[in-house]
């Protein structure tokens, strides 16, 4: 994997991340495909939307379909027929959020599957091995996602465990090889909760591991947006300029623009897909909820300037009808639009950074997105 920065506009960066499955332009948004599928849409639609990389999840894929099948399929790319890059989360977050009866030790984390209650152990080492079998282009280290809120001492203890695990994970990565015919990269995850001092220690120690990239984890878990941005700033002051920075699990369009302004390159979040399935769509002029009766007779598209398949072909009235009748096409069309919107937002962001007008563009975009309340009329560009 090779990362190159092409230009910057203050702290906002424009770059290229080269992987064996293609080049990713950054800043980038990665649609979440937890179980080897981005919910409600097809792989060909992901390509049409312009997704350059998607996310998979180690915890879920390890439990189902399981390593035997993934190995027999020659990895996740072939199994799901996705030819572009894949990043896999380590599964740590899911162990802590989904499974019951987990037991944390120096060795790793023992947990019960949320599916059948069977017992499993994730260690920093076997999480690397599992991601070798999955064959993701970018793998994440096992970390302890520090609960929020945590006291300084709790967060410190948790952070120290994550740092010890990171050393072991990096060692395992360096001692093992890829299983298929493409190279893999490994990102470490900066933790430290909402404590600047711990974030600094974490970032400084992880840099020594010389990973291919760095993630900022444990945010967007209940702290305020201001605190999240402050932590991002602390981390980005320390993380090396020449490596990609990934803010995990974030966020709203506003969160993305604020974090990009502070030097973040990569994002993933379930918001566009999950909200889409719940009849909520994003647009340049704010959010729309199709459960709202005002769209009953609205024969305009979500956004008449959006070039996604949904907006080019269907009206708000029809989308509302699909959601009211619980037709699965509604889920698909709303997901297509939302992911297209996030990709569009990143494309416009990259153009603005290239032309050194990011701050100004961001201000206009945020004002425009805030302009439209649930009951308001479209006002952008009219």
Give CA–CA dist 290/295, Å, rounded: 7
Cα-flanking dihedrals φ and ψ of residue 18, to 5°?
A: -95, 125
Chain-centre distance for alpha carbon 369: 21
Q: How far is the CB of 280 from Zn ion (least distance, A)?
A: 14
Radius of gyration of the chain (CA): 21
Cα angle, residue 144 at apex, residues 93 and 13 outer, rounded to 5°:
75
Q: How far is the CB of 302 from Zn ion (least distance, A)?
A: 5
Which residues in the 196-215 window bind Zn ion by CB under 5 A? Answer: none
- For 40: left if phi > 0, alpha if psi spans -120 to 50, otherwise beta; the answer is left
CB 366 within 8 A of CB 254: yes
Residues in the chain: 382
Best CA proximity match to 227, nearest among 236, 215, 235, 219 = 219
Q: How far is the CB of 38 from Zn ion (least distance, A)?
A: 16
Residue 98 pairs in a beta bridge with none
For residue 297, give both structure tokens. 């007779």
List, in sequence order, every beta strand (DSSP E) within the chain.
2-9, 12-19, 22-26, 28-30, 54-57, 86-89, 100-104, 109-112, 119-122, 138-140, 185-190, 213-216, 245-247, 266-268, 280-281, 288-289
In the complex with Zn ion, the residue whose CB is nearer, 28 or 310, is: 310
Q: Please tell me the number of Cα atoms within 13 Å of 159 on its side-chain side.
A: 28
Instruction: Kindly tell me which residue out of 132, 337, 350, 362 binds Zn ion, with binding defined by CB under 5 A.
Output: 337
Q: How far is the CB of 33 from Zn ion (least distance, A)?
A: 20
Q: How far is the CB of 258 from Zn ion (least distance, A)?
A: 23
Please give the positions annotated as active site. 89, 268
3-state secondary structure of 325: coil
In the shown chain, the binding pattern of residues 92 to 131 toward Zn ion, with x for contact by CB under 5 A and - for none, equals: ----------------------------------------
Interface stretch with Zn ion, choices 88-96, 203-211, 269-277, 333-341 (CB under 5 A): 333-341
In the complex with Zn ion, the residue whose CB is nearer, 50 or 147, is: 50
Q: How far is the CB of 348 from Zn ion (least distance, A)?
A: 14
Best CA proximity match to 187, nearest among 119, 79, 264, 259 = 264
CB 52 within 8 A of CB 28: yes
In the complex with Zn ion, the residue whose CB is nearer, 170 or 337, is: 337
In the complex with Zn ion, the residue whose CB is nearer, 173 or 342, is: 342
Give CA–CA dist 367/139, Å, rounded: 36
In the complex with Zn ion, the residue whose CB is nearer, 257 or 308, is: 308
If binding means CB under 5 A, how many residues of this protein chain bind Zn ion? 5
In the complex with Zn ion, the residue whose CB is nearer, 173 or 318, is: 318
Q: How far is the CB of 311 from Zn ion (least distance, A)?
A: 3
Interface stretch with Zn ion, choices 13-21, 167-175, 237-245, 337-345 (CB under 5 A): 337-345
Which residues in the 269-328 window bind Zn ion by CB under 5 A? Answer: 306, 308, 310-311
In the complex with Zn ion, the residue whose CB is nearer, 310 or 335, is: 310
Chain positions contacting Zn ion, by CB under 5 A: 306, 308, 310-311, 337
């Amino acid at each position: 994997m090779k990362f190159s920065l092409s230009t910057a506009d203050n702290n906002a960066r424009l770059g290229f991340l080269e992987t064996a499955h293609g080049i990713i332009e950054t800043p980038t948004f990665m649609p979440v495909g937890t179980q080897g599928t981005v919910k409600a849409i097809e792989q060909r639609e992901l390509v049409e939307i312009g997704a350059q990389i998607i996310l998979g999840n180690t915890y879920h894929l390890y439990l189902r379909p399981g390593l035997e099948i993934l190995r027999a399929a020659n990895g996740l790319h072939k199994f799901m027929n996705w030819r572009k890059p894949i990043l896999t989360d380590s599964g740590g977050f899911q162990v802590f959020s989904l499974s019951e009866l987990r037991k944390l030790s120096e060795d790793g984390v023992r947990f019960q599957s949320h599916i059948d209650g069977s017992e499993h152990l994730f260690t920093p080492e076997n999480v690397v091995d599992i991601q070798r079998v999955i064959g993701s282009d970018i793998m994440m280290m096992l970390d302890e996602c520090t609960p929020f809120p945590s006291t300084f001492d709790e967060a410190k203890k948790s952070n120290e465990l994550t740092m010890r695990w990171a050393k072991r994970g990096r060692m395992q990565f360096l001692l093992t090889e890829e299983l298929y015919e493409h190279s893999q990269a490994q990102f470490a995850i900066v933790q430290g909760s909402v404590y600047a001092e711990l974030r600094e220690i974490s970032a400084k120690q992880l840099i020594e591991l010389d990973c291919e990239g760095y993630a900022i984890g444990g945010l967007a878990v209940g702290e305020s947006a201001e605190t999240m941005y402050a932590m991002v700033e602390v981390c980005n002051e320390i993380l090396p300029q020449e490596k990609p920075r990934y803010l995990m699990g974030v966020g709203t369009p506003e969160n993305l623009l604020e974090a990009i302004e502070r030097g973040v390159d990569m994002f993933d979040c379930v918001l566009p897909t999950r909200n889409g399935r719940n009849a909520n769509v994003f647009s340049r002029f704010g959010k729309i909820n199709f459960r709202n009766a005002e769209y009953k007779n609205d024969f305009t598209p979500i956004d008449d300037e959006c070039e996604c398949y949904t907006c080019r072909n269907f009206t708000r009235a029809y989308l509302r009808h699909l959601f009211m009748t619980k037709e699965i096409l509604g889920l698909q069309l709303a997901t297509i639009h939302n992911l297209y919107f996030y990709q569009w937002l990143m494309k416009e962001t990259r153009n603005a950074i290239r032309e050194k007008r990011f701050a100004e563009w961001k201000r206009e975009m945020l004002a425009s997105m805030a302009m439209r309340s649930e009951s308001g009329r479209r006002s952008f560009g009219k």
